[in-house]
């Protein structure tokens, strides 16, 4: 079993670092800054799309905004971030079941590697894949294709866990089973509309959700993480 894991909004909560870095870039450009909650809704999609949505797609300021964002993010924002509770235990449980854990993020690979190592998750992760700084492979469909080829793994034995529509769209495009992470920044409606095959309420429920959907080869559920995988009745 191969499990692709999104980073922002799935493994870690990067709200402070991303929001503050967006505010820094917009302020330096003399642009009005939306409220923090509005900026947080942009967590997940590629940075170019986020800034395009804020500044206007095709704006000549997008390139400079990206540079300004990365100026602050690479120095400070990258570590204004937290691993979600229960996530390390969930990763350990999956690894114990023989799953190969692979990070697949639209964030630049160089940043993803720093984050994974900073939070001590590296020993649990088989490989890390992200975009290039020029935006290559920032599209999740393109990225998942790259991961499948690079790792020589079958879509049938692969699951994608992520919190935004891009994760589910990319998974569906390649026949990968997509699990929507409801603890992140995408809503239930967003994830289901994008083609999520299952939803998960929290990291501690990942093994249960995978098992109930026959995504664990031996059907095992780690006792410490055993819990009902029933979908909640209300949206986020």
* Catalytically annotated residues: 6
The DSSP output letter for 23 is H
Q: Are strands 198-200 and 82-83 parallel, antiparallel or unpaired?
A: unpaired
The residue assigned the tokens 């429920």 is: 205
Query: In 3-state terms, what secondary structure has residue 130?
Result: strand
> Which ranges of 84-134 does DSSP label H, i.e. alpha helix?
87-96, 109-118
Strand order through the sheet with 100-108: 127-131, 100-108, 2-5, 158-162, 177-181, 198-200
* Nearest alpha carbon to residue 215 among 169, 166, 176: 176
The DSSP output letter for 202 is S
Structure tokens at 82: 């937290």
3-state secondary structure 47-76: HHHHHHHHHCCCCCCHHHHHHHHHHHHHHC
């Amino acid at each position: 079993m191969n499990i692709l894991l999104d980073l922002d909004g799935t493994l870690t909560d990067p709200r402070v670092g991303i929001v503050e870095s967006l505010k820094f870039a917009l302020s330096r450009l003399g642009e009005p800054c939306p409220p923090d909650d509005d900026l947080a809704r942009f967590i997940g999609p590629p940075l170019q799309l986020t800034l395009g949505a804020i500044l206007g797609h095709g704006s000549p300021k997008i390139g400079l905004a990206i540079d300004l964002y990365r100026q602050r993010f690479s120095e400070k924002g990258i570590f204004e971030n937290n691993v979600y509770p229960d996530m390390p235990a969930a990763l350990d449980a999956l690894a114990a079941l023989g799953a190969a854990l692979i990070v697949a993020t639209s964030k630049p690979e160089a940043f993803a590697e720093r984050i994974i190592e900073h939070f001590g998750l590296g020993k649990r992760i088989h490989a890390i894949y992200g975009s290039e700084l020029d935006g290559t492979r920032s599209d999740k469909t393109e990225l998942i294709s790259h991961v499948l080829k690079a790792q020589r793994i079958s879509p049938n034995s692969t699951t994608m866990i992520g919190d935004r529509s891009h994760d589910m769209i990319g998974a569906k495009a390649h026949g990968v089973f997509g699990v929507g992470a409801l603890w992140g920044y995408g809503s239930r409606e967003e994830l289901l509309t994008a083609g999520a095959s299952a939803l998960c309420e929290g990291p501690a429920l990942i093994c249960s959700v995978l098992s109930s959907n026959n995504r664990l080869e031996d059907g095992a559920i780690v006792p410490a993480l055993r819990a009902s995988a029933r979908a909640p009745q209300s949206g986020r």
